[in-house]
Amino acid sequence: MTTFLVWAPAARRVQLRAGRRSARAVRAPGGWWTAHAPAPPGTDYGWQLDDSPDVLPDPRAAWLPHGVEGRARVYDHAAFEWTDTAWTGRPLAGAVLYELHIGTFSPEGTFDGAIGRLDHLIRLGVTHVEVLPVNALAGEWNWGYDGVGWFAVHQPLGGPDGFKRFVDACHAHGLAVLLDVVYNHVGPSGNHLPRFGPYLTDGAGTAWGDVVNLGEPTVRRYVIDNALMWLRDYHLDGLRLDAVHALVDPLAGRGHPHLLAELSAAVERLSGELGRPLPLIAESDLNDPILIEPRADGGYGLDGQWDDDVHHALHALLTGERQGYYADFGSLTVLAKVVRDAFLHDGRFSSFRGRPHGRPIDRARTPGHRFVVCLQNHDQVGNRAAGERLTELTTPGRQRIGAVLLLTLPFTPMLWMGEEWAASTRWPYFTSHPDPVLAAAIGPGRLAEFERHGWDTSAMLDPQDPAAFRTARLDWTEPERPEHARMLELYRRLIALRAAEPELRDGDLTAVASGFDEAAGWFVLHRGTLRVAVNLAGEPRRVPLSGPAGELLLATGPVALDGAVAELGPETAAVVRTRATPAA
């Protein structure tokens, strides 16, 4: 007999339908119901509540082969034959992350298709793969952030066994796997959670969906259990927590820790049990170091956070864009601040927000590897009206400069799939919502949002148009073409250089220094005895190295070393070893 549990505190009667059998559930403490039935793995099942004839999928279903509207299927996590028993994980310090979307990473758009491309990632030299959300959602393709079946893997991607094969194969290649998870809202389509209990907050919502009710202890447990499941049952190496600034925790500060602190404590215990690191990385636009400060000091105890200010500083500098949230960025003065302090807005006035924003970090106590930075990511590319990459927004020379800066900063660098070969494929927003009302509203809603922020919407595709999904897939013939192969070789050399030079991996932010000339367009970053010299101008520049030049380790264009000066060609970056004492 198999025992089934479901939380339905308001229900008067609950019936289990397993295969062709029915079993009356018995009320248990705390609003739970329990039922027993002969249901081996592979049996389809669902729940009926009160007088409704609907058979609903289990809110904790591990397998939804019929989609989020169909019955769940009994799944045995212990049945999968793992081969990674010797895997001990990889730390976040010294890591190079690679963000990818399973549905558009390979032509097949599946976990097995992605496995076929892992050799490319090994040759590239990245250490961690960060996968966009894979939980079950309505429709066939989607970015993944509209999930409603939190404990199940989306069947069109390959289902639960497909994901396990992918993780197992990554570990066999020496790659750690992080998963993007969404706990701030539930997707707008196929969501049956409110029929079971108060999973959501009445009258509250985000731009993406209904707010999760963190004031209910069982729902808090639902979130934490989900995180632990991915790490334990899928052998994942960490989680990226989506938009934690949208988490509404009414219990925090009322004799109860914030959900994120509660989560980090639970994951820390599991990490100790498993004997490998399980970093939690938050996405937040608050610029608040409370996320990564120790729980003992009142922080949430997470391991890292995305740092949008570094992205904005690089993007605005390389492209010249100043609209929307790029308004305060784009100067070398700003770049010098963010490479030292991680945030530009650390209590400073934000013109985009119209108020002071953020809080400073303690540079002496906060290592740089706790900040994940990027030139591009799914948000910054996909949330443009047409999904353009940097390839379309700046020159090849400035793209190369961006790559050099990204991979020599004192932070944890993250690449967006295809960036390494300057992919020309766009990555627009795409959905396949089966609800016709929702489907019809998606496009006009996005259009209005982009127009408010000043984007050119002339090339925007309707997210529901299958062409939006098809055009987002990477073109794997591009890396073989000369112009793309040169960029790929640069990324390989940069990642290898970062791995070989401890000074480039040093996260001590108190040791970071820089110099620049705003008018002349040159910038130099000091990393111990190494200098990362950049010329953004369209003509040669002489860049002072603050020490006699020794060895030229890497260059993206013409470079001549002359004593303590590097003469750089137009739009050129170089990494030079000096005979200087590291900057204080």
Given the residues 242, 262, 288, 506, the one annotated as active site: 242
The CA-atom distances, in angstroms, between 18 and each of 73, 74, 148, 214 are: 9, 9, 22, 31
Output the CA angle 568-520-503, nearest 5 degrees: 55
The single-letter DSSP state of residue 249 is: -
| Alpha carbons 455 and 284: distance in angstroms, whole number | 23
Q: Which residues contact 310 (CB under 8 A, 6 or more apart)?
A: 338, 339, 342, 371, 373, 374, 409, 411
Dihedral sign computed on CA atoms, order 110, 113, 119, 123? negative
Task: Please check whether residue 338 is in contact with residue 332, taking contact to mean a CB–CB distance below 8 angstroms.
Answer: no
Write the single-letter amino acid at 484.
H
Tokens of 4: 């089934």
Strand order in the sheet with 2-7: 2-7, 32-37, 26-28
Q: Quick one: which of 544, 569, 537, 542 has its CA closest to 555?
A: 569
241 forms beta bridges with 181, 282
| Alpha carbons 101 and 130: distance in angstroms, whole number | 9
- Give me the DSSP letters along 307-323: -HHHHHHHHHHHH---S
Task: Please check whether residue 61 is in contact with residue 72, taking contact to mean a CB–CB distance below 8 angstroms.
Answer: yes
Q: Which helix (H) or strand (E) holds 446?
A: helix 436-452
| Alpha carbons 263 and 237: distance in angstroms, whole number | 15
Query: H/E/C letters for each residue in 198-245?
Result: CCEEEEEECCCCEEECCCCHHHHHHHHHHHHHHHHHCCCCEEEECCHH
Q: Within 13 Å, how many C-alpha atoms sit on residue 462's CB side?
A: 12
Task: Please check whether residue 28 is in contact with residue 55, taking contact to mean a CB–CB distance below 8 angstroms.
Answer: no
Helix (H, G, I), strand (E, B) or coil at 371: strand
Helix (H, G, I), strand (E, B) or coil at 301: coil
Active-site residue flag, 392: no
- Give me the DSSP letters along 539-571: S-EEEE-SS-EEEEEEESS-EEEETTEEEE-TT
The single-letter DSSP state of residue 461 is: P
Output the CA angle 338-342-348, nearest 5 degrees: 70
Tokens of 173: 């290649």
| Alpha carbons 409 and 405: distance in angstroms, whole number | 6
Active-site residue flag, 283: yes
Given the residues 283, 293, 307, 501, the one annotated as active site: 283
* Torsion, CA 319, CA 373, CA 238, CA 135, rounded to 10: -20
What is the distance of C-alpha 120 from the center of its chain? 20
- β-pairing verdict for 72-73 and 97-100: unpaired
Tokens 């049952």: give the residue.
233
Strands (E), 453-517: 513-517
Residues known to be catalytic? 242, 283
